[in-house]
Copies of this chain bind each other. A is one copy, B any other.
Amino acid sequence: MSTKKRILDEALTLFSQKGYANVYVAQIAEAVGIKAPSLYKHYKSKQDIFNAILDEMKSSYDRQAALLNMDGSDAGADAAVFSEVSEDELVKMGLGLFMYFLHDEYAQKFRKMLTVEQFSNPELAELFTKQYAEYPLSYQSAMFATLSSKGILKDCDPKVTALQFYAPMYMLLTMCDREPEREAELTALLEQHIRQFSIIYGGEKRI
């Protein structure tokens, strides 16, 4: 990997652990294996490194969303898939997605960095809400709307239903971020959540 790219990687790791202000350029340089002044041949300032990470973050979200079909463009089609799955399969899918977001290094570091920097400027606050609330909620909302219209799910406001499905998952994810040693316990709770949701919201044709 190029030095320029490796600087971004190591900086992201450090920023996600300590926050921007607690990371010194010398630390980033050391992690990369060079001295601090060399770093300035690649980026003109520490802030410039942060901005580059943010740019990367924005474009990577699009890639990731496309990968997971979570860009909101095809929720109807996904709903068609969901409508065929059993409760066990729903659990498997939910857990799989959860594990991906929990363990994917890139995703986890982005999430932590945005978490600790969210109040440092309004642009980051908006990005945070979009990424971890708006986008997933709008996608799931579209999916639940389709499922409701087919009578597979109880006929409730899909936006609220999405909130009730997603918010617990997100809370458990952030708990795992803080206390990774509790992953097993929290994952079990996640599974219970999905099963109970499926029972409570299932229409005649239980999903």
Binding site for B on A (CB under 8 A): 16-19, 21-22, 112, 115-120, 125-126, 128-129, 133, 154, 156-157, 159-161, 163-164, 167-168, 170-172, 175, 177-179, 189, 192-193, 196-197, 199-201
Contact = CB atoms under 8 A, between A and B. Distances in A.
Given A157-B192, A168-B163, A200-B156, A112 B119 contact: yes
A120 B18 contact: yes
Contacts of A21: 19, 21-22
A196 B157 contact: yes
Nearest to A116: B116
Please state the number of chain copies in the assembly.
Answer: 2
B119 A18 contact: yes
Contacts of A164: 164, 168, 193, 196-197
A57 B180 CA distance: 24
A62 to B, nearest CB: 22
Nearest to A197: B164
Contact of A196 (B115, B156, B168): B156
Contacts of A112: 119
B179 A125 contact: yes
